[in-house]
Chain A
Amino acid sequence: MADAAFVSCGGGGVAGTPFGRRREVVVSGKRVKTVDVHAHCAVPAAMALMGRKLETETLLMTNTRERLAAMDAQGIDVEALSINPYWYAADRDVAQELIRIQNETLAEICAAQPDRFVAFASVALQHPDLAAEQLEQGVKRYGLRGAGLGGSVEGLELSDPKFHPFWAKAEALGVLVFIHPQGSPELERSGRLAGNGLLTNTIGNPLETTIALSHLIFEGTLDRFPGLKICAAHGGGYLPSYAARSNAVQKTFPQRMTGTLKKRPTEYVRQLYYDTIVFTPEALRHLAVEAGPGQIVMGTDYPFPWTSTSVDHILGTPELSDADKIAMLGGTAMRLLGIKG
């Protein structure tokens, strides 16, 4: 990925501190630039094209005072913004217009505070050739740093050959693709996630990511596009922590391996990227062992209050080396997203 491509976003400069002191994260005496790869936002003008209403005002970027205050308090220097897909049912014309508005606005948001925000392009994955164009335009014209996807597209898996044109483009551009699940409607319909506990999210979201990544592995998508850089939200759902089960199936039920893979499933797990939203030091430690510390990038899920301690989570995981911590806090994301030091 050429650094020259980043026109609208990036660069230096000192941000204003709306209120409160900005927390500066230091590891072994060195200031570390921290990057949050899992930060939501919304563009109402685009949502209007689908008749969608804003879920919460904290998603808005028209006034970033509150967001910057939270970032400053939590020690987040840069957010990599993404928008969860709600447009996968749109026809080609609407999708074209919606994504244009959305990506232009994302670029403006980044340009307004280039030291605090970068963004993933939105793409209309239901029209894969269009999505490929939108990604290229988003990166080359708007300086966006990759693409934000859902975990499935109108019932189709991301591994469906229909989406190969998009994956080919993402691989050619060398940009990061952030996959964020949108629950498991198929399971919700059965009623099995009903009742107390927000299981539609606490189970539904990691499940969708697990299914999506499993198909990308088992259907050979990652073999076909070995240069892909994929980052999965919520620590990759359930996949990394129980990855060995995916290996064991090759031995246990070989007749259910209808395709041949180039590597063992866990080797693909170690080439994907994951955010740190696993909440406890033990879970982060385990994720680092299973995926490799260099595959993990900080996430907060802002503005949804899943965690406000992502920085401390990394700093407070005793088994990680300082180099691992620096990489997770920002080093790896800076490299993947083309953020300057």
Chain B
Amino acid sequence: MRGVLSPGCANLNAEDIAMTTRREFLQIGGGLAGLAFVGCHLMAARPARAQARRREVVVAGRRVKTVDVHAHCTVPEALALMNLKLGAPGTALPPLLHMATQAPDRLRVMDEQGIDVEALSINPYWYGADRDLARQLIRVQNEKLAEACAAHPDRFVAFASVAMQHPDLAAEQLEEGVKKHGLRGAAISGSVNGEEISDPKFHPFWAKAEQLGVLVFIHPQGAGVASDLTKRLKGNGYLDNVIANPLETTIALSHLIFEGTLDKFPGLKICAAHAGGYLPSYAGRSDRGCLTRPVACPGGTYGPIKRKPSEYLKDMYYDTMVFSGEGVRHLVAEVGAGQLMVGTDFPYPWTTTAVDDILEAPGVSDADRMAMLGGNAMKLLGIRA
């Protein structure tokens, strides 16, 4: 259990305060730290006017369809199977995550920020479930995701949830999610009950994802980082999210590269949240480590892998959650504009300028801006123009 949320928040109107009061019992829960949300500041992301105009993003005189690949939601009927509840004490699940009841509020925020389509995902909380429970939970969840998309087919697509702790089942669930429910890929965590996602145990899942050619969205859960390290992330500044989330992604992607998972499944399409954590911006260190201490990388220059580590980075995809035009410019330089897609982290109010960061990134061509704003995601997620 982490800190109790403070009910006291600045800049709230009366309606917001009333809503906050209903939520003030929320806490940031251990196992759900990646989802960690918060009572009131969410409200800051809501438009001031109920009937805000929909922002239409235009590049070089052309309307661009924008796609946000990093948008959270949840399904209460599935949460209940793990004894979790929206807005319940000990969890960090704001009601705004609920698509069936809160879609209008969500759409208002999307309209204001210029997001045309969200690719919805649910952060895993079911990796401790046994096979039967996991099957039931994922079935409910993927059905509800499909319903949420069907209710607004021009505004939402979704990633299937899968029970990674049962890799063969996860492969089935992904196939069913894509073929039966029209979901566009899978969303997984940065590790599974302490095991790296490069573990051979998960090969059946990766094989299926490669075969289907669908995108796999990896979202870290800071609490997935070892508890010993968490001790070092206490104190002011919420470092157990600010550092632990990008760190978990950095570790996960590093293992996918260095353990040969990406060699074994070269057709995989992986999208990492939070711009891939720390990895793309310090790719040079991944390349040099093995050269500096070859004994740590037996079997080849970089160990038993086919290419230079940083080359794999240019095959993966990332959201653009770097908060500034310079951050986007840097990511483009490191991995290429063809690998980048808008990410907002909705409903957690990390950013309200995801579109603007791309529009303002210096030295980026219009074609690259259009690709990042929506073109890349439309192709990868099968979204029609």
- Co-complex (A, B): yes
Residues on A close to B: CB < 8 A? 152, 155, 157, 159, 184, 186-187, 189-190, 192-193, 195-203, 206-207, 210-211, 214-215, 217-220, 234-235, 238, 241-242, 244-249, 251-259, 265, 278-280, 282-283, 285-286, 289-290, 304-307
Q: Considering the chains assembled together, what is the distance between the CA atoms of A2 and B199 in angstroms?
A: 57
6 shortest A-B CB distances, which residue pairs?
A279-B284, A190-B226, A197-B258, A218-B237, A256-B238, A244-B323
Which among B80-88, B97-105, B291-299 touches the partner chain?
B291-299
Partner of B38, one of A198, A253, A290: A253
Interface flag for B61 (CB, 8 Å) = no
Chain B residue nearest to A217 (CB atoms) is B237
A187 touches B229 (CB 8 A): yes
Q: A206-B278, A207-B247 are in contact. Are A244 and B327 (CB under 8 A)?
A: yes
Q: A189-B226, A248-B323, A286-B326 are in contact. Are A256 and B349 (CB under 8 A)?
A: no
Residues in B with CB closer than 8 Å to A246 are 237, 242
Nearest CB in chain B: distance from A263 CB, A: 13
B258 touches A253 (CB 8 A): no
Q: A197-B257, A211-B243 are in contact. Are A253 and B297 (CB under 8 A)?
A: no
Q: Considering the chains assembled together, what is the distance between the CA atoms of A167 and B38 in angstroms?
A: 36
B254 touches A186 (CB 8 A): no
Nearest CB in chain A: distance from B353 CB, A: 10
B349 touches A219 (CB 8 A): no
A211 touches B233 (CB 8 A): yes
Q: A189-B226, A249-B237 are in contact. Are A202 and B286 (CB under 8 A)?
A: yes
Q: Considering the chains assembled together, what is the distance between the CA atoms of A46 and B196 in angstroms?
A: 41
Partner of B235, one of A197, A219, A248, A253: A219
Per DSSP, are chain A's interface residues mostly helix, strand or loop, or mixed?
helix
Partner of B349, one of A211, A217, A251, A304: A251
A242 touches B254 (CB 8 A): no
Nearest CB in chain A: distance from B112 CB, A: 16
Nearest CB in chain A: distance from B316 CB, A: 16
Partner of B251, one of A199, A241, A283: A199
Nearest CB in chain A: distance from B196 CB, A: 7
Residues on B close to A: CB < 8 A? 3, 5-6, 9-10, 28, 36, 38-39, 41, 44, 191, 194, 196, 198, 225-229, 231-233, 235-239, 241-243, 246-247, 250-251, 254-255, 257-260, 274-275, 278, 281-293, 296-299, 302-305, 309, 322-324, 326-327, 330, 333-334, 348-351
Nearest CB in chain B: distance from A185 CB, A: 8
Nearest CB in chain B: distance from A212 CB, A: 9
Residues in B with CB closer than 8 Å to A190 are 194, 225-229
Chain B residue nearest to A241 (CB atoms) is B281
B258 touches A196 (CB 8 A): yes
Q: Considering the chains assembled together, what is the distance between the CA atoms of A258 and B237 in angstroms?
A: 7
B238 touches A201 (CB 8 A): no
A242 touches B281 (CB 8 A): yes
- Enumerate 24 A-B pairs (CB-CB under 8 Å) in ascending A order: A186-B228, A187-B226, A187-B229, A190-B227, A192-B225, A195-B255, A196-B305, A201-B296, A203-B254, A206-B285, A211-B243, A238-B243, A244-B323, A248-B323, A252-B348, A253-B38, A254-B10, A255-B6, A256-B241, A278-B282, A279-B288, A283-B283, A305-B291, A307-B288
Nearest CB in chain B: distance from A330 CB, A: 22
A218 touches B254 (CB 8 A): no
Residues in A with CB closer than 8 Å to B303 are 196-197
Q: Considering the chains assembled together, what is the distance between the CA atoms of A259 and B6 in angstroms?
A: 14
Q: Which of B3, B231, B239, B309 has the largest count of A CB atoms less than 10 A from its CB?
A: B239
15 further contact pairs, Cβ within 8 A, besides A192-B191, A238-B281, A242-B246: A157-B232, A187-B229, A189-B228, A196-B296, A196-B303, A197-B257, A197-B258, A199-B255, A207-B243, A211-B232, A238-B282, A241-B282, A248-B350, A252-B38, A286-B330
B236 touches A259 (CB 8 A): yes
Q: Considering the chains assembled together, what is the distance between the CA atoms of A280 and B334 in angstroms?
A: 10
Q: A187-B226, A192-B196, A256-B238 are in contact. Are A198 and B293 (CB under 8 A)?
A: yes
Q: Considering the chains assembled together, what is the distance between the CA atoms of A336 and B75 in angstroms?
A: 57
Q: A199-B254, A256-B238, A257-B237 are in contact. Are A278 and B284 (CB under 8 A)?
A: yes
Residues in B with CB closer than 8 Å to A200 are 296
Partner of B226, one of A192, A255, A279, A283: A192
B330 touches A282 (CB 8 A): yes
Q: Considering the chains assembled together, what is the distance between the CA atoms of A264 and B27 in angstroms?
A: 26
Partner of A195, one of B259, B278, B324, B334: B259
A282 touches B259 (CB 8 A): no
Chain A residue nearest to B331 (CB atoms) is A286
